[in-house]
Amino acid sequence: MERNHMKLEFLSKSKNESFSRIVVAAFAAQLDPTIEELSDIKTAISEAVTNAIIHGYEYGDGIIRIEATIEGNVIEIIVEDFGKGILNLEKAMEPFYTSKPDLERSGMGFTVMETFMDDLKVETNESHGTRIIMTKRIENLPNKER
């Protein structure tokens, strides 16, 4: 597929979680993904956006930026906040680690992103913010189930 690109910026309000994952899913639909592949992408976006809202901007609203690029049969999605950053990234990425157990978080967000996407990279800077870079290859099998 010919290279394509999109960018979306919105305020870190929880109402925007569903809006943002629907936008990215609609963009990803160009690659003709299965329902399962689309559901994986939506879930990974939702994890990254929710993290930006509840952890990155825990004390107020900020801007969340999503960029997505399609190249060949691969989609790369970047979810970025300009909030507090992650102090201990290694610990943060461990399954079941959460800094907010009181908010009924389970510490599964990064594990979900890793499992549902093909590749996950995290760039973070204390008090500058966090960038989540995820890619997924959409298999183009001739008779795939839809």
Active site residues: 47, 51, 105
Q: Which is nearer to another protein, 1 or 122 (CB)?
A: 122
Contact map string, positions 2 to 41, toward ligand ATP, x by CB under 6 A:
----------------------------------------
Find the binding residues for ligand ATP in span 121-140 (CB under 6 A).
130
107 is an interface residue for ligand ATP by CB under 6 A: yes
Find the angle CA(23)-CA(29)-CA(34) to the nearest 5 degrees. 125
Q: Which is nearer to ligand ATP, 7 or 100 (CB)?
A: 100
Within the chain, how many helices (H) and strands (E) appear?
Answer: 4, 5
Separation CA 42–CA 22 (nearest Å) = 7
100 is an interface residue for ligand ATP by CB under 6 A: yes
12 is an interface residue for Mg ion by CB under 5 A: no
Contact map string, positions 70 to 89, toward ligand ATP, x by CB under 6 A:
-----------x-xxxx---
61 and 13 Cβ atoms separated by less than 8 Å? yes
| Structure letter (DSSP) for residue 117 | S
| Structure letter (DSSP) for residue 136 | E
Question: Could you tell me the maximum CA-CA distance found in the chain, to the nearest angstrom?
Answer: 49
Separation CA 116–CA 37 (nearest Å) = 8
Q: Choosing among another protein, ligand ATP, Mg ion, none, which partner's interface includes residue 83 (Cβ < 5 to 8 Å by kind)?
A: ligand ATP
Q: Interface residues with Mg ion (CB under 5 A)?
A: 51, 109
